[in-house]
Amino acid sequence: MIRIYNTLTKEKEEFHPLEPGKVRMYVCGMTVYDFCHLGHGRVLVAFDVITRYLRHRGYDVHYVRNITDIDDKILRRADENGEVYTDLTDRMIHAMHEDEARLAVLPPSEEPRATAFIDDIIAMIQRLVSTGHAYPADNGDVYFAVESFPDYGKLSRKKLDDLVAGARVDVQEAKRSPADFALWKAAKSGEVSWQSPWGDGRPGWHIECSAMSTKCLGDTFDIHGGGPDLLFPHHENEIAQSECATGHKFVHTWMHAGAIRVNKEKMSKSLGNFFTIREILEKYPAEVVRYFLVSSHYRSQVDYSEESLAEAGRTLTKLYHALRGLIPAKASEVEETEHDRRFEDVMDDDFNTAGAISVLHAVAGEINQHRRDGNEDEASRAAAVLVRLGAVLGLLQQDPEAFFQVGGSEGLSPKDIEAMIQARADARKARDFAEADRIRDELLEKGIILDDSCEGTSWRKA
């Protein structure tokens, strides 16, 4: 039985999808005006693992992750760059797909874009206007009337009075209440716009997710996820719009990832302390970054640091060492082990990936023991277990040699390295250990570590 922490109820609940065996999940994706940073990466990887695990447990998962490709920030950035906004969004969507692929994030089942759903967005706003939950204002915008929805604040636990009193919200003459938010924004001259009953304009920030999720998954669906900073106001507003428009409960389980921090502060656009995924991937192998993300629970805050990434690299190296030189048995031919059961036990508990990784280490230890005992057959069966459990976390799917030797060495081709290894082997055979060690040291200086074994010598990047 899978249990999931639901932000709406603030409790871990047994997970029962609305339709047995089927999971309908929506995750807020990117607003595409810049490269993805590690915070985006965390959400991408977290929900990728969740999807993989739900499928592993036999659910048919329909995973929708949107792209918001029209918005103030996009228009501003395109303007700064002096380009058509669609050129910017096309470029960023392409970059995002590259980042995802490198992090081994599987594509969602559907990836709807806001600009392809303008008709649905307008239809939803019309429904809200006609039922009195929204109103066109004098400035040409259409606003959601927050006070028309008594449940407003149920997700973020905020009281409307506090929000208004806080006065941090955008004070707008045109709004009836300061907490009201825009569903439709009137176009300024020269801006991209779509026709609507309220004049030319474009959607406000939150409505696109309500329209797309409802269109793709129905009025009510199982899981809605996203980053921690979307909880308010974005998700709160989505609930208000959707429940008022459809008259049904919007989402059963709300899931929010924890923040990535840098020096104890949240990594964020506004603080400017963010590292883009591609920046990080210049310094660390993608799987190491993924391992780092998966090694803590998806809801906990996690500090990004060079040291943490380095440690993740050392640890992942150890796991691949267990697989190196082994041909894993066919996973389908290896029956369920107690490791599989333990893995499911911990993952069933709100996707405890940290616990799951400890199972991976237990399996690796078992492989190494079998190998040491010369029990190749058992080792290859255990390797199959390691690879199949790794797959659920999106780890350990590479050929170990590819992992160890990624990129080769500066100035040395794999061929050069092999030649030096052979020269060292000859020296060792002649018991010229000074020469053998000289060669090993020379390679080490160039970032190559040698591992001897009874089958010969293999190398890896330091």
Among positions 108, 201, 233, 400, the unique one binding RNA when judged by CB under 7 A? 233
Question: Scanning residues 343 to 402, which ones bind RNA (CB under 7 A)?
Answer: 346, 349-350, 352, 354-355, 357-358, 361-362, 364-365, 368-369, 371-372
Between 245 and 259, CB nearer to RNA: 259
Distance from C-alpha of 78 to C-alpha of 106, rounded to nearest angstrom: 29
Please say which residue, 60 or 79, places its beta carbon nearer to RNA: 79
Using CA atoms, how far residue 137 sits from 100, 146, 186, 234, in Å, is: 41, 14, 10, 21
Q: Please name which of 192, 188, 191, 166 lies closest in space to residue 177, comparing C-alpha atoms.
A: 166
Regarding 193 and contact with RNA (CB under 7 A), the answer is no
Residue number with CB closer to RNA (21 or 67): 67
User: What are the Cα distances from residue 117, in Å, to 63, 90, 114, 310, 352?
Assistant: 18, 17, 5, 43, 36
Distance CA(128)–CA(245), nearest Å, equals: 6
From residue 270 to residue 289, what is the string marking binding to RNA with x (rule CB under 7 A)? xx------------------
Tokens of 446: 């160039």
CB 244 within 8 A of CB 6: no
Identified binder of RNA from the candidate list 88, 122, 240, 257, rule CB under 7 A: 257
> Taking the chain, what is the end-to-end CA distance rounded to the nearest angstrom?
42
What is the bridge-based pairing of β-strands 3-6 and 201-203? unpaired
The residue (of 126 and 425) whose beta carbon lies closer to RNA is 425
Residue 34, CA distances (Å) to 78, 97, 203, 304 in order = 10, 13, 20, 20
x/- binding map, residues 131-170, to RNA, per CB under 7 A?
-------------------------xxxx--xx--x-xxx
Among 87, 336, 345, 451, binds RNA (CB under 7 A): 451
| Binding map of RNA across residues 8-27, x = CB under 7 A, - = no contact | --x-----------------
241 touches RNA by CB under 7 A: no
CB 272 within 8 A of CB 256: no
When binding is defined by CB under 7 A, the residue of 9, 300, 397, 422 that contacts RNA is: 300
Q: Which of 49, 129, 302, 392 binds RNA (CB under 7 A)?
A: 302
| CB contact set of 423 (below 8 Å; sequence gap of 6+) | 439
**216 annotated to bind ligand:** no
Q: Which of the residues 31 through 50 are near RNA (CB under 7 A)?
A: 31, 37, 39-40, 42-43
Judged by beta carbon, residue 255 or residue 334, the one nearer RNA is 255
Task: Tell whether 269 is in a known binding site.
Answer: yes
The token pair that represents 157 in the structure block: 């636990």
- Could you give the C-alpha distances from 177 to 174, 294, 329, in angstroms and in order? 9, 42, 65
> Which of the ranges 93-101, 304-312, 331-339, 385-393 carries the binding residues for RNA, by CB under 7 A?
304-312
Q: Which is nearer to RNA, 60 or 437 (CB)?
A: 437
Positions at the binding site for Zn(2+): 28, 209, 234, 238
Positions at the binding site: 28, 209, 234, 238, 269
